[in-house]
Amino acid sequence: MTEERFDIRAVRGLSEAEAARRLKTEGPNELPQARRKNLLKIAANVLGEPMFLLLIAGGVIYLLLGDRGQAVILLGFVAVIMGMTIYQGGKTERALEALKDLTSPRARVVRDAAERRIPGREVVRGDTIIISEGDRVPADAVLVAALNLFVDEALLTGESVPVRKNPYAEEALPEAVARPGGEGIPFVYSGTLSVGGFGVARVLATGAATEIGKIGRALREIKAEKTPLQKQTGGLVRSLAVVGLSVCALVAVLYGIARRDWLEGFLAGVTLAMAVLPEEFPMVLTVFLALGAWRMSRRNVLTRRVPAVETLGGATVLCVDKTGTLTTNQMAVKKIYRPGGGDFAFFDVESAAGRPMPEEFHEIIEYAVLASRKDPFDPMEKALREAGGLWLVNTEHIHEDWTLVQEYPISGRLLVMSRVWRPNGESDYVIAAKGAPESIGDICHMTEEEGRELVSRVDRMAGEGFRVIGVARARSKPAALPDGQHAFTFEFLGLIGLADPVRPGVAAALGMCREAGIKVLMITGDYPVTAGMIARRIGLGGERPQIITGPELRAMDDWQLRRRIKEADIFCRVLPEQKLRIVNALKAGGETVAMTGDGVNDAPALKAADIGIAMGGRGTDVAREASSIVLLDDDFSSIVQGVRMGRRIFDNIKKATVYVLAIHVPIAGMALIPVVLGMPLVFMPVHIVFLELIIDPACSIIFEAEPEEQNVMARPPARGESLIGRRTLFMSMLQGASVLAAVLAVFLAAVFRGRAATEARALGFTTLVIANLALILVNRSWTMGLAASLRVRNPALWWVAGGAAIFLAAVLYAPALRSVFQFGALGPADLLVCLGAGVVSVLWFEWFKKAGRDHNRALG
């Protein structure tokens, strides 16, 4: 049977009336529309974040103080961030829409004994559908008739090799479809692509009940989690806000009661609030992550969820989808065997390294190409034609001008495809055949000994992970052609091994992942032998990688899986929901999971992972929309660059956070101590605003531009590391306390020596500005010394330092500004005292860094 010979009258199909009734009762053949989030709800969620509340509070305070410039800056950040979040929130809901587009092609159905072409959404359960080469399957169905039907199910199984479909063998059709995957099964699935042949099928499931619909349900049920950085920052800001505002309110009340000056008390409370509340944190996160995403985009890594930039740096496990991620998802000729070649029986394409193919192997490729279609859908035939174009160009083995006479398709009884050609200027026909090696041996009428030799060669090539096909040729007089291929006298030419090639740079990238302490797991729907071969080729798991199969995984409970997963290197023959289960098991074990993939079947796991990484070039829309990060160039090594960038961002955010907390200690201390001691206020809001002009660009620009530490990819991931741990918090507070001591000492010394209050204030403020710049310098690196870090280029540092020096000179020596700041004039000796006190207050940290370097060297 061919499509031309198919008798449409033999199938009546549903009636139009019955189809309309089922469409009304069961719904259209499409996935449910993803519920659109209300923009007001998204905005409310954004405003509920402590960092945004802090920004708004800071803006309001500045408005109350009449400083519209600072208020506009802070509230402008709120508007920009909210706009970005609302825009991104709308985009992240598009995964189901992409699935919906994929599952609603046009379809050919038989109704009332007549063939019709209808929108895919109108296909109903019980419809009879016709599938031809190049058609997208509109629904899950069982085949009632098929001829040489091959279907690409990569979007469901992840495998690049199309599978052959046979019609259902029993008379009574089943009520439900079996799971996808495997040769010869009689089911076809919604969204998959026919790459060859013809079939007639009865629809068993539509819409959300299909296999691709189940993936859609899984996507809807998975809730996006906050990143560790978001959780830590939110908690830190909440704690500081509660403590800071409580202290400020208490100071304002106590000041008003003790001194009967409520206006001065309110001013003291506002000053302390501005000094204590670290409103820089939202800016730090926004700028660092936004610029980090921009830097990654320049390396072909698109960030769809900005916080994932930092999270990637903390990944402890990388789950890698083999097909399309480690491999190119394109079949290619890798090895060729010719009988009787002795020591030269094999031609290895990879080891040829650009050398021409020996003439003895040309005929094998020549006849494999002749046995393939000129414009094929099948990836294997595409690979054969590409090999012909590469190896046979400018030879006599190219026959574009030959005339095709007849084709003998593959059948269930004989897995061989033969094509009969009429060469120009010759009377005899030439027959080219390719197919399963055992079937090629059959039509070549091999002897028992020749058969054993063939099996031995096939086993050797299959053991190396190749898909093996045999090639044969025959000649025939131009008489009536026989009905079957067995009637020809075929000559066995050889074997061709095809494989899905490993992407360049994958092995090196995996090596860097191991050095960085990241465990790599391969997750694939392929067979254990093929997966193991790929793993050994890229250095995953050593010589004997530990493999867990899908059936073994199904037999495990969650506790067993969490235990076994620690030793596993490969999961093979897995189903989509099992990928999701693997990701969840890793997360339950405390891992930070990054998951790569490109197919529809990867989407639930991509969305559930801490960092979902989709392939941008070959990835489906569904995979991209479900992911946090997209590799625009499909280069696996870009993941390593992403990890490096993420770790750098986390390190620099940590440095900025330490600096912000440290500098707020002397600012808050100088705002609080005079109140406690009954002295006049030292710093007014205008002084805090001036300091913020240094602090804001320092924490958001200088530290962001710092390069990564030398050991950034030679240390284990920061597993559960807090942004501000006890040790880091202690070091930050110690830095701040030492600066506070220096500033307070200079200020009190001036007071006790009888200097005017304006001069004492100017001395304390100048010391604080200098100490502030010194804090920036020593915190640029926690591994390099000050002298070494000064040699590292960071233009923003000198712009900020130069601007601070110019502004300080202006407020000290411009009469109008000096009056606003209530400063007295300072002489050269005063400036030297401030410079010495400010620098000395933080120099002890250089000794601390040196001790750390000496300790690391001692450990080797």
Structure tokens at 550: 């899908």
For residues 409 and 679, what is the distance between their CA atoms, to the nearest angstrom? Answer: 99
Positions marked active-site: 321
Is 594 a residue whose pLDDT tops 80?
A: yes
Task: Tell me the residue ranges of DSSP E strands in 812-858.
Answer: none
Cβ 256 vs Cβ 224: under 8 Å: no
Residue with tokens 């402008």: 76
Is 98 a residue whose pLDDT tops 50?
A: no
Q: What secondary structure does DSSP assign to 406-421, as a single string?
A: EEE---SS--EEEEEE
Is 828 a residue whose pLDDT tops 60?
A: yes
pLDDT higher at 732 or 633: 732
Report which DSSP code applies to 784.
Answer: S
For residues 222-256, one letter each, b for 16 or more C-beta atoms within 10 angstroms of the residue's C-beta and e for the rest, the string is: beeeebbbbebbeebbeebbeebbebbeebbeebb
Is 496 a residue whose pLDDT tops 90?
A: yes
Structure tokens at 57: 């509070």
Task: Quick: pLDDT tens for 464-478.
Answer: 878 899 999 999 988
Residue 96: per-residue pLDDT: 39
Is 126 a residue whose pLDDT tops 80?
A: yes
Q: What secondary structure does DSSP assign to 471-499, as a single string?
A: EEEEEE-SSPPPSSGGGS--EEEEEEEEE
Residue with tokens 């807090």: 722
pLDDT class for 5, splitting at 50, 70, 90?
very low
pLDDT higher at 375 or 684: 375
* Entry field: residues in the chain: 860
pLDDT class for 685, splitting at 50, 70, 90?
low
Residue 570: per-residue pLDDT: 92
How many C-beta neighbours within 10 Å does residue 259 have? Answer: 13
- Residue % of the chain over a pLDDT of 90: 18
Residue 41: per-residue pLDDT: 62
**Angle of CA points 17, 19, 22, to nearest 5°:** 110
Task: Tell me the residue ranges of DSSP E strands in 190-254.
Answer: 193-205
Contacts (Cβ under 8 Å, ≥6 apart) of 382: 330, 331, 376
How many C-beta neighbours within 10 Å does residue 852 have? Answer: 12
Task: Quick: pLDDT tens for 750-796.
Answer: 988 888 888 988 999 899 989 988 988 888 887 788 888 888 888 88
Range 563-589 average pLDDT: 87
Cβ 538 vs Cβ 326: under 8 Å: yes
Is 622 a residue whose pLDDT tops 90?
A: no
For residues 321 and 230, what is the distance between their CA atoms, to the nearest angstrom? Answer: 28
For residues 629 and 796, what is the distance between their CA atoms, to the nearest angstrom? Answer: 29
Structure tokens at 782: 């926690």
Contacts (Cβ under 8 Å, ≥6 apart) of 513: 318, 520, 639, 640, 643
Environment class of residue 144 by beta-carbon count within 10 Å: exposed (0-12), middle (13-18) or buried (19+)? middle
For residues 498 and 796, what is the distance between their CA atoms, to the nearest angstrom? Answer: 54
Residue with tokens 């996006």: 224
For residues 427 and 662, what is the distance between their CA atoms, to the nearest angstrom? Answer: 93
Task: Output phi, psi for 163, to 5 deg.
Answer: -110, 145
pLDDT higher at 621 or 137: 137
Task: Quick: pLDDT tens for 152-201.
Answer: 887 777 666 788 888 888 878 888 888 887 778 899 998 888 877 889 99
Contacts (Cβ under 8 Å, ≥6 apart) of 41: none
Residue 49: per-residue pLDDT: 53
Is 203 a residue whose pLDDT tops 90?
A: yes
pLDDT class for 618, splitting at 50, 70, 90?
low
Cβ 321 vs Cβ 524: under 8 Å: yes
Cβ 237 vs Cβ 50: under 8 Å: yes
Residue 856: per-residue pLDDT: 53
Cβ 667 vs Cβ 768: under 8 Å: yes
Residue 85: per-residue pLDDT: 52
Q: Which of 12-16, 72-76, 648-652 has the lowest mean pLDDT?
A: 72-76
Is 446 a residue whose pLDDT tops 60?
A: yes
Environment class of residue 741 by beta-carbon count within 10 Å: exposed (0-12), middle (13-18) or buried (19+)? middle
For residues 532 and 543, what is the distance between their CA atoms, to the nearest angstrom? Answer: 9
How many C-beta neighbours within 10 Å does residue 152 have? Answer: 20
Sheet holding 332-337, edge to edge: 346-348, 332-337, 491-499, 467-476, 429-435, 416-422, 403-408
- Report CA Rg, the chain: 36
Handedness of CA 562, 305, 658, 314 (dihedral sign): positive
Task: Output phi, psi for 835, to 5 deg.
Answer: -65, -45
Task: Tell me the residue ranges of DSSP E strands in 55-180.
Answer: 106-111, 114-119, 128-132, 140-152, 163-165
Q: Nearest Cα to 383, choosing from 338, 410, 349? A: 349
Residue 262: per-residue pLDDT: 62
Residue with tokens 């480690």: 326
| pTM as predicted | 0.65
pLDDT higher at 661 or 835: 835
Contacts (Cβ under 8 Å, ≥6 apart) of 467: 161, 331, 380, 497, 498, 499
How, if at all, do strands 570-572 and 519-523 pair?
parallel
Task: Quick: pLDDT tens for 531-549.
Answer: 888 888 888 887 788 999 8
Type and span of the H or E element at 42 = helix 39-47
Q: Among the ranges 27-41, 308-322, 340-354, 805-819, which has the highest mean pLDDT value?
A: 805-819
Residue 855: per-residue pLDDT: 47
How many C-beta neighbours within 10 Å does residue 183 have? Answer: 12
pLDDT class for 100, splitting at 50, 70, 90?
very low
Is 328 a residue whose pLDDT tops 80?
A: no
How many C-beta neighbours within 10 Å does residue 404 have? Answer: 12
Residue 658: per-residue pLDDT: 85
Task: Quick: pLDDT tens for 374-400.
Answer: 877 777 888 999 999 888 887 888 887
β-pair partners for 455: none
Cβ 472 vs Cβ 491: under 8 Å: yes
HSE-CB of 96 using CA atoms within 13 angstroms:
20
Residue 119: per-residue pLDDT: 84
How, if at all, do strands 128-132 and 140-152 pair?
unpaired
Q: Which amino acid is it at 348?
A: D
Mean pLDDT of the chain: 79
